[in-house]
Amino acid sequence: MENNNLCETIKRAVDELSSNLKAVLFFRYGLVDGRKQSVREVAGNLHVKISQVARMELKAIRHLRKPALCAPFFKILDEMAPLIWHEIAEDISEAGSLMRKGENYDMAMEAFPGYISLAIKCRYGNIVAWIESYSFGVENVWARSKYPKETVEEKVRQLHEIWHENTSPFVVGRLTTALEVDLAFLRFILALSPRVSGFYGGYVAERPISSPVLRAIRIHLMLLYQYAEVPVSMDEIVKEYNFFYQDDKLTGDLADDIIRTRPHLFLEAGELGWSALGSIREHTSYAEVDDVESPGPDDVHSDNTENKHPTENKHPFIYERPWSETTAYIIIREILEQRDFSLRKDILEGLVERSNGRYDKGSAFPVLTMHEDVLEVSPGVYGLRKVCEKIDPVDTWSKLLLNRRACKFFVSERYAGESLNVYPLWTPTMEQQWCLWAEKNSELDIGMGHKGVADRAFNRKLYHSLLLVSDPEHWPVSEDVKTRWRFKKQALSKYHFVKPVPGHLWGRVPSLQDLFSFAIASKQTEYTNWIRIADALALGRHSRNSLGVMVLLIALEMILPAENWQKRHEMGPQKDSLLSAMIPEIRKKGFVHWMDETGTEVKNRLRKSINGVQLGWVSARWIREFLDILDGAGSFEQAIEKSSPQDCTGEKSFAPTSVQPEQLTLPF
């Protein structure tokens, strides 16, 4: 953006200043070679202090504001205003353009030629003041329009009322009629609204498009084109929707909520069902208005019609999902909305199927483990937070958990000392239902054993183990029922799943930082177990890779040995002493390592523990093996060759930790 006339006019005005003031402006605004210099650079060129340059610049600008000097270039600046606005504003439509408030427009000013920046600073002080003088403020933007400010503000107000009184989406044709505006003006006033909205195949809705809005658009189009003015039952709507759309599964409850909350789109005809408000003409006039690009011929998924309805592309009422706005979370949320709770494997398979391969199974794990709206209600079972918040801590239970895997997880965690409420669905009633289910199955040849044969023995073992960890006293049942189950517990309970410790523990060699992480995580706890240790080290909740750390914790008396490694372990007398020894080292260099001073002290404690500590189920040989690895008599590679521990899900163990420590930060 150049204007030689403005440039020469400003130079003539600057030439009227004293030599020092003239030099400052020439350097600062690049009036000679076009390169603007910082205050520090100017100070270096003039051999003065930085503070002096700033004062001289302000003094020079004050002199330039004298009418005789500034009038000529102010006039040219006013003539350039449309061009300057165009450079920094966002063109919305032919109805107008805008600039968002709160953005750093001083940075935009830096992109201008220096003489334009100087002219603006002389007249307005800064770019924001110039923007305010050249535009009008609406909501959170500055705007310019071919329409009067009062008209724009009135249309924005009317739009707000429509948004407030109705639930999107809105048919574009009906919205333009209601507001008495054309499409260009509608785009403009939508851009002025604090709501971020867009166009979706002839509809207006918030961006990114939500699942309910997408379904509302699809249902409205289907009723509009397929059943014009003919009421359709809710069951038929669900059936037709699921026939045409393989990337979603609509239920009666979801459809009922979508339709009933949008009376501006749907009309109820009593027992006959529902019909769409509006006309096909209203839609076709704006059907091509869409801010989301449709998949093109180069889209690797667009020509995969294996799971699509064979005549899908022939129907004008089909609205493709805008995949550019569809995240893995949106698909997973839609899956979870179908029922209260879902298995992990069903979620993973559903994500791949519904996205037609756009998302793989790995895309689900960040959502399942970290998204605030998704909760694990039992190992491998998930639900939406809004559903989980309605779980009764006593009475809720789910048939989804009545299987051997879910019951075995429950038994193993309860045997390890975990409380009944560690997962939302582990309620007293769920425990009771498991007992009823396990008692019935203990006499049946159901469930295939590891060798592919009916395993009645396993079912009995599971039942007896479940009785051991269950507590009928907390069940919401009559006293007679409790008495019967107390007797069964006394007569039959026994834990049948005690596992031997793997022969070699050091496939994953614990780092000193592992011990530190456990010490931090357990500061306020009274007990721990192999599951909690695995959690604290981010190994996977049921990973046996935690056993090596557990052995060291017992040897260091940070925890006390229990009857076996699977049971609850109480905290030991040295729980805090190791933490106290590590903290100064971490504060000094950010990490601890077996080869530093603290590591040497811990290794000496381990050597003394071989004969001086009650080790319980821990073998002194394991500690010697570990020390040999650290001292070089053994090696990481030898440890890996000797053992390949498996976690309880059958997955291979993690690789040994690197000798290079990671940086740690203290949480206090």
Q: Cis peptide leading into 310, omega within 30 of 0?
A: no
Asked if 612 contacts 556 with a C-beta cutoff of 8 angstroms, the reply is no
- CA dist 217 and 211 (Å) reads 10
Q: What is the 3-state secondary structure (H, E, C) of 632-645?
A: CCCCHHHHHHHCCC
pLDDT of res. 544: 86
For residues 450 and 256, which has the higher predicted lDDT (pLDDT)? 256
Average pLDDT of every residue of the chain: 86
- CA dist 381 and 340 (Å) reads 10
How confident is the model over 520-543, as a mean pLDDT? 85
The yes-or-no verdict on residue 452 having pLDDT over 60 is no
The yes-or-no verdict on residue 445 having pLDDT over 90 is no
Categorize the per-residue pLDDT at 140 as very low, low, confident or very high, splitting at 50, 70 and 90: confident
pLDDT of res. 391: 93
The yes-or-no verdict on residue 334 having pLDDT over 80 is yes
How confident is the model over 394-410, as a mean pLDDT? 95
The yes-or-no verdict on residue 641 having pLDDT over 50 is no
Asked if 29 contacts 117 with a C-beta cutoff of 8 angstroms, the reply is yes
Q: Which two tokens stand for residue 80?
A: 């350039």
pLDDT of res. 545: 87
Which distant-in-sequence residues (6+ apart) come within 8 Å of 656 by Cβ?
A: 506, 507, 508, 509, 636, 639, 640
Asked if 284 contacts 179 with a C-beta cutoff of 8 angstroms, the reply is no
- CA dist 412 and 417 (Å) reads 9
Q: Percent of the chain at pLDDT above 90?
A: 66
CATH number for the region 4-136 comes to 1.10.10.10
The amino acid present at 591, given as its one-letter code, is F
Looking at the DSSP assignment, which residues form a beta bridge with residue 205?
Answer: 198
- CA dist 539 and 447 (Å) reads 29
Q: How many CB atoms lie within 10 A of CB 76?
A: 17
Categorize the per-residue pLDDT at 180 as very low, low, confident or very high, splitting at 50, 70 and 90: very high
How confident is the model over 21-38, as a mean pLDDT? 91
pLDDT of res. 384: 96
592: left (phi over 0), alpha (psi -120 to 50) or beta: beta
pLDDT of res. 194: 86
Helix spans in 358-453 (H)? 364-370, 385-388, 404-415, 428-441
- CA dist 34 and 114 (Å) reads 7
- CA dist 27 and 22 (Å) reads 9
- Look-up of token digits 């799971």: 307
Asked if 518 contacts 552 with a C-beta cutoff of 8 angstroms, the reply is no
For residues 165 and 586, which has the higher predicted lDDT (pLDDT)? 165
Q: How many CB atoms lie within 10 A of CB 390?
A: 9
Residue 541 DSSP one-character state: T
For residues 538 and 405, which has the higher predicted lDDT (pLDDT)? 405
The predicted-structure confidence for 349-364, as pLDDT tens digits, reads as follows 999 999 999 999 999 9
Residue 616 DSSP one-character state: T
How confident is the model over 403-427, as a mean pLDDT? 94
Q: If residue 114 lies in a helix (H) or strand (E), which one and from where to where?
A: helix 114-124
pTM above 0.85, yes or no: no
Asked if 559 contacts 570 with a C-beta cutoff of 8 angstroms, the reply is yes
pLDDT of res. 314: 56
The predicted-structure confidence for 272-299, as pLDDT tens digits, reads as follows 999 999 999 888 889 888 888 655 444 4
How confident is the model over 542-550, as a mean pLDDT? 89
The predicted-structure confidence for 564-574, as pLDDT tens digits, reads as follows 999 999 999 98
Q: What is the 3-state secondary structure (H, E, C) of 225-293?
A: HHCCCCCECHHHHHHHHHHHCCCCCCCHHHHHHHHHCCCCCEEECHHHCEEECCCHHHHHCCCCCCCCC
- CA dist 431 and 482 (Å) reads 13
How confident is the model over 537-561, as a mean pLDDT? 90
The candidate with the shortest Cα–Cα distance to 646, out of 502, 533, 511, is 502
Q: How many CB atoms lie within 10 A of CB 304?
A: 11
Which distant-in-sequence residues (6+ apart) come within 8 Å of 177 by Cβ?
A: none
The predicted-structure confidence for 454-512, as pLDDT tens digits, reads as follows 578 899 999 999 999 999 999 999 999 999 999 999 999 999 999 998 777 888 889 88
DSSP string, 319-371: ----GGG--HHHHHHHHHHHSS-EEHHHHHHHHHHHTTTSS-GGGHHHHHHH-
Asked if 175 contacts 162 with a C-beta cutoff of 8 angstroms, the reply is yes
pLDDT of res. 536: 84
Looking at the DSSP assignment, which residues form a beta bridge with residue 100?
Answer: 141
Q: Percent of the chain at pLDDT above 70?
A: 89
Q: Which two tokens stand for residue 442?
A: 């203990």
